[in-house]
Chain A
């Protein structure tokens, strides 16, 4: 029951804030709505037993990326309203309708598949079952340890590649943003 209340509260807030993000007139407002949205998503992660990811979400998304957005909004000191010019050939409302149609279809698929294959719940015992921390009992109790173990064993090479990706992105951003090298 409590879980349902939390979920629905979070769901409504997340979706409402998402709509606020895309409909806010000012970019600063959008960024602020986005921060709150990210924080609520982090809460959602906690309810799903993913504490480490939730923390990362807060640190990286709500902390790092959003600050980056704020800096850009500040740097782009718009003298005129940024969206005043609209090309006559653009199709915003058609796109919105199409997006709604896709959403409706996806919902239909989801409902239909749930109904048709009910009870076919997946069994557990995936990754993490044979980690040194499997004695934690559940995934929840020592999620961070297990995730760390997986990252530095099974996913070591992708992990290191991700770090390289970040390094390259950092250098690229510096090169792009700097006036003169």
Chain B
């Protein structure tokens, strides 16, 4: 309990991951769903950093850098899509975005 092992970080990461997943599954506001996805990415990053420290290997940190870059790109494009969609449909409710099914 007092000794902090990499397992603790991993479990923290897993819990945060699942919080993000629950957010994705439960919320209907697309913006909040995107935020939940950021939470998921953060959970992954925590895991990578913790293991990088544990293994004394910089590769984990390098990957985190890349993940942050990808997250930034994802956020930019995804939010652009939300803006464009909102202009046409006047909504950001994911339940009203059903045009995948005809």
Q: Is the interface of A mostly helix, strand, loop or mixed?
A: helix
Q: Residue-by-residue, is B62-102 near A (CB-CB < 8 Å gives 1, otherwise 0)?
A: 10111011111111110111111011001111011010000
> For the side of the interface on B, what is the size category?
35 or more
- Contact flag A126-B57 (CB < 8 Å), given A22-B19, A110-B11: yes
- Contact flag A7-B36 (CB < 8 Å), given A65-B75, A82-B92, A169-B77: no
Chain A 45-104 residues near chain B, CB threshold 8 A: 45, 48-50, 52-53, 56-57, 60-61, 64-65, 68-69, 71-73, 75-76, 78-79, 82-87, 90-92, 95-96, 99-100, 102-103
A-B contact count (CB 8 A): 238
CA distance A51 to B58 in the complex (A): 12
Q: A83, B28: Cβ atoms under 8 Å?
A: yes
Instruction: Enumerate chain A residues within 8 angstroms of B92, measured Cβ to Cβ.
Output: 76, 78, 82
Q: Which of A41, A64, A99, A168 contacts B72 (CB 8 A)?
A: A64
Chain A 1-25 residues near chain B, CB threshold 8 A: 1, 3-4, 7, 11, 14-15, 18-19, 21-22, 24
CB distance from B29 to the nearest CB of A (A): 5
CB distance from A95 to the nearest CB of B (A): 3
A18: nearest chain-B partner, CB-CB: B19
Instruction: Enumerate chain A residues within 8 angstroms of B83, measured Cβ to Cβ.
Output: 72, 75-76, 176-177
Residue positions of B touching A, CB distance < 8 A: 1-5, 7-12, 14-16, 18-23, 25-29, 31-32, 34-36, 38-39, 42, 45-46, 49-50, 52-59, 61-62, 64-66, 68-77, 79-84, 86-87, 90-93, 95-96, 98
Jot down 18 A-B pairs with beta carbons below 8 A, ordered by A.
A4-B4, A7-B4, A14-B16, A21-B32, A45-B49, A75-B86, A82-B91, A86-B95, A90-B28, A92-B25, A92-B26, A96-B22, A110-B10, A110-B11, A110-B14, A126-B58, A147-B58, A155-B62
The 3 closest A-B pairs by CB, nearest first: A126-B57, A22-B23, A169-B73
